[in-house]
Structure 1
């Protein structure tokens, strides 16, 4: 029987430190291979570290909330022998709370963030590990890419804000009485989001509950606006440490804003035909159970416009301008821990259905806080969907390393002149920022005009 130390591993992407968010094991507890040991937060995302061994947990060497460097011992483990004495059991109410916050991972994707846009789920990855032989001083573990999620983990519902009873009271009327008709993936989604399917009004073609119905029930009155006015806190001030994702956001935005000379353009667009197209896609059998929104058309429009104006899809390096002949499409995502920008790899080769699924996956994983660093690297151009928050437009800051970003504003009915007559039309405002070192005004204007032309007439995508 020997005691060894578990060192904080390098989870890739050149990260050198991480914060211990929460321990998933306790002294005296038996651990199995691939059991989640601890949840850490790097500068890019939340990561769950799995155990590469079996044994008995000894001492937890690092407390929750502490930031430590890669290679630091974080707990000890005894391989073989009798378990160490277990700590006294927690009170019953704590055990109930812990149980409520834990579910088993299944193969179905887990729900997602408000993608300043939308979604993602399970993500496979390769992992290599090296385990010391019994009796050695430590157990260093090296990870490549993301960490596999193979055991108990916090449910997505733990991250999603829940509407209070007062908000529920003003929600649409409950669904008609009778049996709940929903496919297994939809039931899984409802479970992860904490949605009671008996309260959901179905809109499916056979009276079944769709993915949109579940997401709407989970997010109504919580995503787009504040649902209540809280009392002033007793404390006069709150001090929030600048670390982890928030520190990385601050560094990236400061670097981008003060190193790349931004130029911004705006255009109002009649999006009526986009809204009609989205409605047809939602009713299509091919898109059944897949998230479809104007963001999907916007994404396809940007890919099309990049093909016609390739320099907006570039990187500035001081020595040269690298024009990318592929599109890793970034989607800005608002998560409980801050703004992140995962990207859809090789989006230029995807069909509309493939792109819809990829966008949904990104959002679901982002909301769950499980976006791996690999999903946030290598982006070439970005969309930020501020319309989901009811905003008309804005001046987005470039994602570092990119020279173009487009903002999609809210789409709502406004008076619009059509053939000399004022008619109600669905109108939106597109905003875009560019690195003026790379993108000249004429190129920026042509690019945004091309994006607007697709939003006005999605049939152009058939060209």
Structure 2
């Protein structure tokens, strides 16, 4: 037997620190190969770290909420017999579904101070990647611990009886308060990120479970300042948020962009009536069944089309040279519970309209669920931000660092518009765009924005 110290890895390119968000294990717990044992937050995303060995957790060396440098020891595991694979029986599909829906009991992760251990050979074990057996199937379980309950991931075990939880469809959409809240782990994670109490959510799932849409709907009905306005905190006059993680990265990036790139901005009003009609037809098409279609899809496709006609807006300034890129990694600014993220769709210029719609939907859901990986936010070439979803007509967007162009799509709503000499109600939007004036001259910027506007006015041009 040996005790192994494991250092915090660099899960992205050049990241120097990360915050310990949540331990999934506690001292005394047994961990299996590839079992997720901790969730960390870097400047770019939430990341789950899997164990490269089997063994028993000796001690947790870092408390939750602490920010530590890459390379700092965070965990000690005692291994035995070379980390033989677990022989626990695999669960059936029915047991897996039932386990995923059972409500967790409230509790907190227990903490135990670091215990001295001898340094040992780790055999090349690192806290990234998966072992040779592939990802281990696991579910959340709770074990009692001093001072409260703690949460860990353990191998799934067959449930002793099928009558542990009685699930009854709710015809009225109201939940019986005597029954546990039914929600799968990703839905619970989303509720936690959005500050939504599952007890307050009306479930609409077929088995009475809470769905993603239920969480989003509840969150949208709650004030952004709910933590200040609740009667539980009447004495609080200020609310302070530590500047770290994603918020710190956003601040640094925006300051760098604003003070290093000379921004120039353009705006144009557009008759988007035909775009709205086109979106309606796509939604009714069998080719787009099950895929989200919105004006943002047409905007994204229009940008890719306009980049091909004006390639210098899809470039990078390096002081020594301008790198014009003949591929489009289209960034999409996404407001998430963790802050503003800009993941990008790789090689968007190669995608059909259906493929682009699918990629945008996946990107949005992943960002909203807090699962965006660092690689998804690297290598962007140009960005679109949809401020129209917040009811804004337009704005002056700040460039994503490393890029020379960003376009904002404003809200689309009916306004009086002159058509053939007559004033008619039309769906109108405003496009706002910013460029790095060191790379993009006014004429190029104007042609680029005009090309996007022409597609929104007549999306049939995309089919030519």
TM-score, length basis structure 1: 0.75
- Which residue matches 2:25? 25
**Is 1:35 matched with 2:20?**
no
Equivalents in 1 of 2:127, 2:256: separation in Å?
30
**Is 1:424 matched with 2:455?**
no
- Which residue matches 2:62? 62
How much has 1:2 moved relative to structure 2? 1.7
- Which residue matches 2:126? 141
Q: Equivalent residues in 2 for 1:73-112 (5 A)?
A: 73-80=73-80, 96-97=105-106
- Which residue matches 1:115? none
- Which residue matches 2:295? 294
Equivalent position to 2:216, from 208, 211, 219:
219
Q: Equivalent residues in 2 for 1:344-359 (5 A)?
A: 344-359=345-360
Instruction: Note if contact 2:190-2:215 (Cα within 8 Å) is conserved in structure 1.
Output: no
| Number of positions where the alignment pairs a residue of Structure 1 with one of Structure 2 | 381
- Which residue matches 1:52? 52
Equivalents in 2 of 1:148, 1:277: separation in Å?
43
- Which residue matches 2:6? 6
Q: Equivalent residues in 2 for 1:433-448 (5 A)?
A: 433-448=434-449
Instruction: Note if contact 1:5-1:138 (Cα within 8 Å) is conserved in structure 2.
Output: no
**Change beyond 3 A, Cα 1:168–1:45:** closer
- Which residue matches 2:189? 158
How much has 1:415 moved relative to structure 2? 1.4
- Which residue matches 1:303? 304
Instruction: Note if contact 1:156-1:367 (Cα within 8 Å) is conserved in structure 2.
Output: no
What do residues 59-115 of structure 1 show as CA deviations (whole Å, max 9, x unaligned)?
11100011111111111111128xxxxxxxxxxxx951369xxxxxxxxxxxxxxxx
Instruction: Note if contact 1:4-1:78 (Cα within 8 Å) is conserved in structure 2.
Output: yes
TM-score, length basis structure 2: 0.75
Equivalents in 2 of 1:341, 1:382: separation in Å?
8
Equivalents in 2 of 1:266, 1:62: separation in Å?
50
How much has 1:227 moved relative to structure 2? 8.0
**Change beyond 3 A, Cα 1:317–1:74:** same
Instruction: Note if contact 1:71-1:140 (Cα within 8 Å) is conserved in structure 2.
Output: no
Question: Is 9-18 or 344-353 further displaced after alignment?
Answer: 9-18
How much has 1:226 moved relative to structure 2? 3.8
**Change beyond 3 A, Cα 1:321–1:440:** same
- For the aligned residue pairs, the C-alpha RMSD in angstroms reads 3.2
Equivalents in 1 of 2:308, 2:300: separation in Å?
13
How much has 1:218 moved relative to structure 2? 4.6
Equivalents in 2 of 1:227, 1:42: separation in Å?
24
Equivalents in 2 of 1:225, 1:435: separation in Å?
38
Unaligned runs of 5+ in 2: 82-102, 109-118, 141-184
- Which residue matches 1:313? 314
How much has 1:412 moved relative to structure 2? 1.1
Instruction: Note if contact 1:225-1:389 (Cα within 8 Å) is conserved in structure 2.
Output: no
How much has 1:277 moved relative to structure 2? 0.9
How much has 1:225 moved relative to structure 2? 8.2
What do residues 112-156 of structure 1 show as CA deviations (whole Å, max 9, x unaligned)?
xxxxxxxxxxxxxxxxxxxxxx952686516479x9896548524
**Change beyond 3 A, Cα 1:439–1:228:** closer
What do residues 389-408 of structure 1 show as CA deviations (whole Å, max 9, x unaligned)?
11111000000000000001
Query: What SS class does the counterpart of residue 126 from structure 2 fall into?
Result: coil
Equivalents in 1 of 2:369, 2:421: separation in Å?
49
Q: Equivalent residues in 2 for 1:15-414 (5 A)?
A: 15-80=15-80, 96-97=105-106, 136=121, 140-141=125-126, 143=128, 151-152=138-139, 154-160=185-191, 161=194, 194-195=210-211, 215=213, 218-220=215-217, 222-223=219-220, 226=223, 230-231=229-230, 233-414=234-415
Query: What SS class does the counterpart of residue 97 from structure 1 fall into?
Result: coil
Equivalents in 1 of 2:120, 2:224: separation in Å?
57
Highest RCO, 1 vs 2 (Cα 8 Å, sep ≥ 6): 1
- Which residue matches 2:88? none
Instruction: Note if contact 2:52-2:128 (Cα within 8 Å) is conserved in structure 1.
Output: no
Instruction: Note if contact 1:6-1:138 (Cα within 8 Å) is conserved in structure 2.
Output: no
**Change beyond 3 A, Cα 1:246–1:164:** closer
Unaligned runs of 5+ in 1: 82-93, 100-133, 181-186, 196-213
